Amino acid sequence: MSHRRRLRVVKDASTSAPPAPSKPLARAGEETGPGPPHGRSLAAAVRTAVALASVALIVSVAGRTAFFVLACVVVLTSLFELFDALVQSGRRPSMPFGLACGLGMMLAPWFHRPALVAVVIAATVSGSFLLALRPGRGERPASDAAWTVLGVAWIGGGGAAATSILILEDGLLIVIAFVAAIAGGDIGAYFAGTRFGAHKMAPSVSPGKSWEGYAGGLACALAGGAALGAFMTPLSIVEGAGLGAICGLFGPAGDVIESLVKREIGIKDSGRLLPGHGGFLDRTDAMIFCAPLVLAYAYLITGSSPQ
């Protein structure tokens, strides 16, 4: 073989070699590792958190009714984000009807009619299936009805539990302590997970969460709850620590459950209204999940009663 032919053979072999495999892209809704999720800014997240805390503080000073209005706005926005994500993915939940039922879930305990919560859920089931029979329904009407019911029961149910806490004696202070304990757990989980995270907690659902972050979040929620109990009248230090334990133990489950839902729908964030955080549902998922447990705790441990 001549020198020129050997060069041609080498050149042909090099051009026909398969390209090096590229790094696979993250799936929709998947965190890419410790630290802020891909595309988010820690500085923006801090600014948004400060703004949210300021709004909550101002509204809490305005009183229980103002706080209830704020809670309705937050819960209904979270529910809207879920329905909107479903629509964007090709599904057709009954959005106006579902939002009305979500509001009804919160109005029932606010007007001291907790038994009506069950009525609202039953009406949501019946109404969603009736609307699934409408002309122009999607290709999966039963699935769309199920998503509507799930959204109202999950997000609206958490809002109903939070409202039930709010109407208790000293309920506004308990809700503030609850929100603060959740926030403290989130902060502790973020920094502990970023610094020490090595063992994945739910790699198939939320790969960025680690057991080290979970432990850090639990420790901060416990400490924060105890500190709040030391300075807030309705709670003792032990009771505050108990509140922190509920938030620290079960709050991450709310995060992972929301990640599970987002992964099935095929989205990364529930929305874009909160820079550095995503959507309202991304911020309220732990509170929504923990609210029924905190309500039971307030009834059984602190001896609170409806006001």
| Tokens 């606010």, located at residue | 110
Of residues 94, 200, 188, the one with CA closest to residue 149? 94
In a domain, 6, yes or no: no
Determine the structural domain holding residue 295 and report its residue range: 39-300
Look up the pTM and report it: 0.82
| CB burial string 178-205: b at 16+ within 10 A, e below | bbbbbbbbbbbbbbbbbeebeeebbeeb
Write out 227-263 in H/E/C secondary structure. HHHHHCCCCCHHHHHHHHHHHHHHHHHHHHHHHHHHH
Mean pLDDT of 228-236: 87
228 compared with 16, residue with greater pLDDT: 228
- Six token digits for residue 7: 């060069």
Strand partners, 274: 278
- Six token digits for residue 291: 């609210």
Total tally of structural domains belonging to the chain:
1
Residue 6 has pLDDT above 90, yes or no: no
302 compared with 95, residue with greater pLDDT: 95
pLDDT single digits (tens) 115-158: 999 999 999 999 999 999 988 777 899 999 999 999 999 999 99
In a domain, 221, yes or no: yes
In contact, 106 and 70? CB cutoff 8 Å: no
In a domain, 1, yes or no: no
pLDDT single digits (tens) 205-230: 888 899 999 999 999 999 999 999 99
In a domain, 307, yes or no: no
In a domain, 159, yes or no: yes
In a domain, 153, yes or no: yes
Of 3-17, 36-50, 183-197, which has the strongest mean pLDDT? Answer: 183-197
In a domain, 177, yes or no: yes
In a domain, 33, yes or no: no
Of residues 268, 254, 256, 279, the one with CA closest to residue 89? 268
